[in-house]
């Protein structure tokens, strides 16, 4: 570093420190070399499509103009994060075709849970639980290092496809998982103690984050879980209910209160865990992002923000007790029905009744990336510790 540059950095630094509310976080843009993402279908960029069956159109129609293993018409929040940080879209770790891992890898897989599952893959369970995703990451890191050491002279071409060993400590680790655990807890709300279950889910999450800390991860960007009670497929308007819901069952947006309350309880316990981990690991940066509030704000202001009613589903057929999911065909009441897309997905918050549209993901990403839903209130570009 030249004398002048050194001088400027030195002079500016105390000033930056004094205006930043958060001591010890970087005043400069963090120089993340890579992103490693863990999660479920909210951030799966091709894992399930590569492992099992590819998706069909109209998935992907808006941005990619073909199905690309994402549960949306276009980009996901993780795609907007990657673009915002100047990276190409993240490749799914198990996708073998046309992928590069130079700037990170995505371990997220649709239907993944934090806890281990009792159901097998054939019963609709996921093999890619959070624990397995972390094990895959561990293997990815170890094998990357091995190849790098074997190829010390850089004679082989694969170097350009992997992160450098030193990138792992400087990378940002992003998380969006827990929604499927909450969904399972909702299904069993009458038979199990959901408070104990939710505590257990959060303990499992903490264990895996501890493992990643042990592997040298230092910057964590952790999304809490969204308002699951606002997913349109579960709303009474799309279900033939034989009783009228009682007072207090729904909120003013048509969302199911007790389901959102379970998500809120998970989020509260998750936040306590993040705060606890910060004390245990003072050199790490653990940012808790209130995804619930960001999504709920959009749902509450749907019309004002240019969207149709939040119960609207762009793609799919959900009427009279029938649920035909986006892209599927079936004979219903003697008529062949194709669960097709709407005219203008950008007017809908919900793409397929469960997942958000690209337009909604973009709206949410714009609000979380600048730190307005973060604790501490840091933008993603400033979420690392000062070096
Ligand atoms: C900043 O880091 C120093 C040294 O690790 C520590 O003593 C101090 O408590 C930290 N401040 C905050 C606000 O975390
Ligand atoms: C973040 O961006 C959103 C959307 O542009 C804006 O409403 C909000 O005030 C911004 N927050 C901060 C802390 O800059």
Query: d(Cα 317, Cα 173) in Å, to the nearest integer?
Result: 37
- What is the percent of the chain where pLDDT is above 70? 93
What is the torsion angle, in degrees rounded to the nearest 10, for the CA atoms of residue 298, residue 301, residue 303 and residue 307?
Answer: 0
How many CB atoms are located within 10 Å of the residue 181 CB? Answer: 27
User: Which of 55 and 6 is assigned the larger pLDDT?
Assistant: 55
In this structure, what token pair is assigned to residue 180? 């499927």
User: Which of 34 and 145 is assigned the larger pLDDT?
Assistant: 34
Residue 384 pLDDT > 90, yes or no? Answer: yes
User: What CATH number is attached to the domain comprising 206?
Assistant: 3.40.50.1110
Query: d(Cα 11, Cα 108) in Å, to the nearest integer?
Result: 43
C-alpha pair distances (Å), 208 with each of 28, 125, 135, 138, 202: 29, 20, 9, 11, 10
Query: d(Cα 82, Cα 364) in Å, to the nearest integer?
Result: 14
Ligand 1 centroid from CA 237, angstroms: 51
Ligand nearest to the CA of 373: 2
List 331's β-bridge partners, or say none: 336
Q: Is residue 3 assigned to a domain?
A: no
Q: Is 24 in the pocket of ligand 1 (CB under 6 A)?
A: yes
Q: Is 282 in the pocket of ligand 1 (CB under 6 A)?
A: yes
255, 230 in Cβ contact below 8 A? yes
Q: Which range marks the domain in which residue 381 is found? A: 33-305+356-385
Give the model confidence (pLDDT) of 344-366 as tens digits.
999 999 999 999 999 999 999 99
Q: Is residue 325 assigned to a domain?
A: no
Q: Is residue 183 assigned to a domain?
A: yes
Residue 374: phi and psi, rounded to 5, are -100, 150
- Nearest atom in ligand 1 to 22's CA: 13
Query: d(Cα 119, Cα 145) in Å, to the nearest integer?
Result: 35
Identify the band that residue 217 occupies on the pLDDT scale cut at 50, 70 and 90. very high
Task: Please identify which residue in the block is written with the tokens 């993240």.
Answer: 90
Q: What is the pLDDT of residue 11?
A: 40
How confident is the model over 281-294, as a mean pLDDT? 97
Task: Return the minimum-mean-pLDDT range out of 74-78, 140-144, 245-249, 338-342.
Answer: 245-249
In this structure, what token pair is assigned to residue 188? 């069993």
142, 82 in Cβ contact below 8 A? no
List 325's β-bridge partners, or say none: 316
Q: Is residue 346 assigned to a domain?
A: no
Cis ω on the peptide bond leading into residue 182 (within 30° of 0)? Answer: no
Q: Is residue 145 assigned to a domain?
A: yes
Q: What is the pLDDT of residue 5?
A: 36
How confident is the model over 173-188, as a mean pLDDT? 97
Q: Give SS3 for 35.
A: strand
60, 342 in Cβ contact below 8 A? no
Query: d(Cα 289, Cα 220) in Å, to the nearest integer?
Result: 10
How confident is the model over 199-218, as a mean pLDDT? 98
- The 8-class DSSP code of residue 227 comes to -
Q: What is the pLDDT of residue 154?
A: 67
Query: d(Cα 104, Cα 166) in Å, to the nearest integer?
Result: 13
Query: What is the b/e burial string over 96-113, where b = at least 16 CB atoms within 10 angstroms of the residue's CB?
Result: eeebebbbbbbbbbbbbb
All residues at 6 or more sequence positions from 286 whose CB lies less than 8 Å from its CB, including other chains: 209, 220, 222, 274, 277, 278
Q: Is 123 in the pocket of ligand 1 (CB under 6 A)?
A: no
Which residue's CA is minimally distant from atom 3 of ligand 2?
367
Ligand nearest to the CA of 20: 1
Ligand 1 centroid from CA 24, angstroms: 6
Ligand 2 centroid from CA 218, angstroms: 26
The count of structural domains within the chain is 1
Nearest to 179 by CA among 19, 39, 52: 39
Q: Is residue 122 assigned to a domain?
A: yes
The per-type count for the chain, helices as H runs and strands as E runs, is: 10, 10
Ligand nearest to the CA of 377: 2
Half-sphere exposure of 265 (CA within 13 A, CB side): 19
Give the model confidence (pLDDT) of 90-116 as tens digits.
999 999 888 899 999 999 999 999 999
Task: Please identify which residue in the block is written with the tokens 């070399």.
Answer: 33
Q: Is residue 116 assigned to a domain?
A: yes
Compute the mean pLDDT over every residue in the chain, rounded to the nearest whole number: 91
- Nearest atom in ligand 1 to 23's CA: 13
Cis ω on the peptide bond leading into residue 376 (within 30° of 0)? Answer: yes
Ligand 1 centroid from CA 283, angstroms: 9
Active-site residues, by number, are 41, 352, 355
Q: Is 257 in the pocket of ligand 1 (CB under 6 A)?
A: no
Which residue's CA is minimally distant from atom 11 of ligand 2?
372
Residue 42 pLDDT > 80, yes or no? Answer: yes
How confident is the model over 159-188, as a mean pLDDT? 95
Q: Is residue 94 assigned to a domain?
A: yes
- Ligand 2 site residues, Cβ closer than 6 angstroms: 366-367, 370-372
């Amino acid at each position: 570093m030249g004398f002048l540059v050194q001088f400027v950095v030195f002079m500016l630094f105390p000033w930056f420190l004094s205006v930043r509310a958060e001591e010890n976080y970087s005043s400069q843009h963090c120089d993340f070399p890579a992103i490693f993402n863990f999660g479920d279908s909210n951030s799966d960029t091709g894992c399930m499509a590569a492992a099992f069956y590819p998706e069909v159109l109209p998935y992907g129609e808006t941005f990619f103009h073909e199905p690309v293993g994402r549960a949306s018409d276009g980009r996901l929040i993780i795609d907007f994060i990657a673009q915002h940080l100047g990276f190409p879209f993240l490749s799914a770790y198990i996708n073998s075709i046309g992928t590069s891992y130079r700037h990170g890898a995505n371990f997220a897989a649709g239907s993944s849970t934090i806890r281990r599952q009792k159901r097998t893959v054939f019963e609709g369970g996921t093999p890619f639980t959070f624990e397995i995703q972390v094990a895959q990451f561990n293997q990815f890191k170890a094998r990357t290092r091995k190849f790098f050491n074997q190829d010390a002279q850089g004679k082989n071409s694969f170097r350009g496809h992997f992160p450098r060993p030193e990138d792992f400590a400087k990378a940002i680790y992003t998380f969006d998982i827990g929604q499927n655990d909450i969904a399972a807890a909702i299904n069993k709300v009458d038979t199990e103690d959901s408070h104990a279950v939710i505590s257990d889910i959060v303990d499992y999450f903490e264990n895996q984050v501890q493992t990643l800390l042990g592997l040298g991860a230092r910057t964590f960007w952790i999304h809490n879980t969204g308002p699951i009670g606002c997913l349109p497929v579960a709303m009474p308007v799309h279900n033939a209910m034989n009783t009228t819901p009682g007072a207090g069952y729904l909120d003013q947006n048509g969302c199911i209160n007790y389901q959102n309350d379970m998500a809120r309880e998970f989020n509260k316990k998750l936040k306590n865990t993040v705060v606890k981990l910060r004390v245990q690991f003072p050199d790490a940066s653990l940012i808790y992002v209130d995804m619930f509030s960001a999504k709920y704000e959009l749902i509450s202001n749907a019309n004002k923000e240019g969207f149709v009613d939040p119960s609207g589903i762009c793609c799919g057929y959900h009427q009279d007790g029938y649920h035909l999911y986006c892209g599927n065909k079936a004979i219903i009441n003697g008529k062949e029905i194709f669960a097709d897309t709407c005219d203008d997905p950008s007017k809908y918050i919900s793409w397929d009744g469960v997942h958000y549209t690209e337009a909604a993901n973009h709206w949410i990403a714009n609000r979380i990336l600048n730190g307005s839903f973060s604790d501490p209130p840091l933008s993603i570009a400033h979420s690392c510790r000062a070096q």
